[in-house]
Structure 1
Amino acid sequence: MVETRLPKAPEKRQVTAIIFLLLLWEAGSASIKYSVLEERDSGSFVANLAKDLGLGVGELAARGARILSKGNKQYLQLERKSGNLLLKEKLDREELCGDTDPCILHFKVLLKNPVQFIQGELQLQDVNDHAPEFLENEILLKIPEGRHPGTSFPLKIAQDLDVGSNTVQKYTISTNSYFHLFTRNHSDGKKYPELVLDQALDREEQTQLRLTLTALDGGSPPRTGTSQVLIVIVDINDNAPEFAQRLYEVQVPENTPIGSLVVTVSATDLDAGTHGELSYSFFQYSNQIIQAFEINSITGEIRLKKMLDFEEIQSYHVEVEASDGGGLSEKCTVAIEVMDINDNAPELTMSLLLSDIPENSPETVVAVFGISDPDSGNNGKIMCSIQDHLPFLLKPTVENFYTLLTEGALDRERRADYNITITVTDLGTPRLKTQQSITVRVSDVNDNAPAFTKTSYTLFVRENNSP
């Protein structure tokens, strides 16, 4: 969030941005929304911007229209003459938004003359370009022979990078006499397969079963992924492991070194011998979890495998399974919150810069630029300022955009150019800042008439001079 601050020192004029409460210029409150399928080729038509804005042919070019996006990444391009809005490159929804649905790319339309902003949204619609995939080719399930019919056994889920109806919709299991499959809908929107026991198992009759688990997405036709389920039937072990806590909650700063201890989970088992020997492992893990963390199978220590990045992932939910030597297991959840540190300096992106300003023109726009900081809290709050005692103003416009304009008419005869340093500082600890210097030249207008050095001149001429 942003607030306007009064100057704390005479040498700087500070202006801060308010992210959600901004002074909009004229049409700045207008918005346009478009939708397009992912994976369309570069140059594909999105919409006719001129028509949607109610502008005539050539008005976009006359007003110097530009498409602005956060940072320097541009997904759209504008044909000013035709008014057509086109894709600048092929867009991958999974790369840009991951699991987020809907996938919204924000942009702005800048009209330079006069300066106006129009908010824009491009919704990137999913296509079924990924099949479900299990992280393991074989799922090992150890079931004691004494379990009663009706007992359910959770299976590991398949990953599908698509969203909505294109992601995993159901699971099936190969035909057998002992189990049927039940698909459970969780609050997170994912579907989890569970094996349900139909009749009692007898290890002396059969020591193991091998079934095929199939995940199907909602495409037409559906894409599928399979994994083998190996069910090992073990002798009765009447005490399952028990965790000291069902939920472990820890906070880890994003600059924690690799190899650091995150948390130690602990379980006990009342059985003796191999039935009481425990091993720890991750359960229902994703690629993100196994890339970031590792667990000691004997001690239950969870340590970092790579540096965390708050700007990429803010939290992890890790399921840990404790298994004894007899095939029984219990699970707990480790909630890891990544704590932000001020590791990103503010960014300044110049959208419009006029290096020559005519004298005697009041409140002339010199530059339009955007500022951003991916950090959170005070680390992401930004102040923007220029040097004091300059005839220029910083004015917040739309969201995190600023306009630099003259405070009044300039006089070239008094001063012909100005060196202006724009300083963007965050409020983190320590404070990080970014500076950009620009030079503004004052161009001359004919505002001074010729002037004699004297009001009168006296000349003496000798008479009878030859012509």
Structure 2
Amino acid sequence: MKLLLVSLLICLIFALAICNNAPVFRSRRFLIVREDTKIGTVIGKLTAVDPDGPENLVLNITDDATAELVMLGPMMTDVPIHSSTADIILNTTLDRDYEPSSRKLVFEATDGETTTTVTVTLNIDDVNDNAPQFTQTSYSAKIASTKDLFAFQAFDVNLYTGLIAVKMPLVTQKGRDLHMKVIATDGGGLQTSVDVTITVT
């Protein structure tokens, strides 16, 4: 009976010794960063734990798309809790206006025998960095002359459509060009102007 118990204990110890659990990530699964964040900025941390080894954890980037966006800083190992941590560092400029506003970052942690991967979602916040744009570099139109007095502010520009309308009759020589500048302003205060020429017929 004693021999049987000793044999079972040895088998149990052997089974526990060869049982290697995969690393587990303990870091956030999403990050938020502004599109004007500078290259080299730490935008998050990657942490994984693995109590049963057999080796210290190594953290890696797994694909080219992730490597274009970020890089990992030097790994810091915490021996008592069997964890490894590395800074996630921005590796390129971001532009939410012309590129996707959400990206997937894929990392792995390996203990020398088993490997675990994790996907972190990178959400890019918009910044008001582009002024409004007109569809043409300049505009022109023709309008008939009348015999009424010329009004100083004779034109009205629709705030939403940009349509230019005559508010009151014009008096000026036929064939004369009237010039004005129209300015578009976005909600963040960025402006763009365009020249408008109106020919009186």
TM over 0.5: yes
Q: Confirm whether residue 392 of structure 1 aligns to residue 70 of structure 2.
A: yes
- CA distance in structure 2 between the partners assigned to 1:405 and 1:442 by the alignment: 14
User: Closer, same or farther in 2 for the Cα pair 1:380/1:347, shift >3 Å?
Assistant: farther
Report Cα offsets for 1:49-101 as digits up to 9, x if no partner. xxxxxxxxxxxxxxxxxxxxxxxxxxxxxxxxxxxxxxxxxxxxxxxxxxxxx
Q: CA deviation at 1:353?
A: 6.8
- CA distance in structure 2 between the partners assigned to 1:347 and 1:436 by the alignment: 9
- CA distance in structure 1 between the partners assigned to 2:6 and 2:37 by the alignment: 66
User: Closer, same or farther in 2 for the Cα pair 1:435/1:348, shift >3 Å?
Assistant: same
Matched to 2:93, the amino acid is: A
Report Cα offsets for 1:420-453 as digits up to 9, x if no partner. 122212322xxx2222222111111121122212
Following superposition of structure 1 onto structure 2, how do residues 6-405 of structure 1 map, counting pairs within 5 Å?
Answer: 294-295=2-3, 302-305=6-9, 307-308=12-13, 340-341=17-18, 343-350=20-27, 355-362=31-38, 363-376=40-53, 379-386=54-61, 387-390=63-66, 391-399=69-77, 400-405=84-89
Moved over 4 A (4+): none
Answer whether contact 2:35 2:94 (CA < 8 A) is retained. yes
Q: CA deviation at 1:342?
A: 5.2
- CA distance in structure 2 between the partners assigned to 1:424 and 1:397 by the alignment: 11
Aligned counterpart, 1:462:
144
Please identify which structure carries the higher helix content: 2
Q: Confirm whether residue 411 of structure 1 aligns to residue 88 of structure 2.
A: no
- CA distance in structure 2 between the partners assigned to 1:413 and 1:403 by the alignment: 27
Answer whether contact 1:354 1:366 (CA < 8 A) is retained. no
Answer whether contact 1:365 1:404 (CA < 8 A) is retained. yes
Q: Confirm whether residue 426 of structure 1 aligns to residue 104 of structure 2.
A: no
Matched to 2:94, the amino acid is: L
- CA distance in structure 1 between the partners assigned to 2:65 and 2:14 by the alignment: 41
Report sequence identity in percent: 26
- CA distance in structure 1 between the partners assigned to 2:19 and 2:60 by the alignment: 20
Aligned counterpart, 1:438:
120
Q: State the SS of the aligned residue for 1:357.
A: strand
Compute the RMSD of aligned alpha carbons: 2.9
Q: CA deviation at 1:307?
A: 2.1
Paired positions, count: 137
User: Closer, same or farther in 2 for the Cα pair 1:422/1:456, shift >3 Å?
Assistant: same
Matched to 2:76, the amino acid is: V
Answer whether contact 2:29 2:119 (CA < 8 A) is retained. no
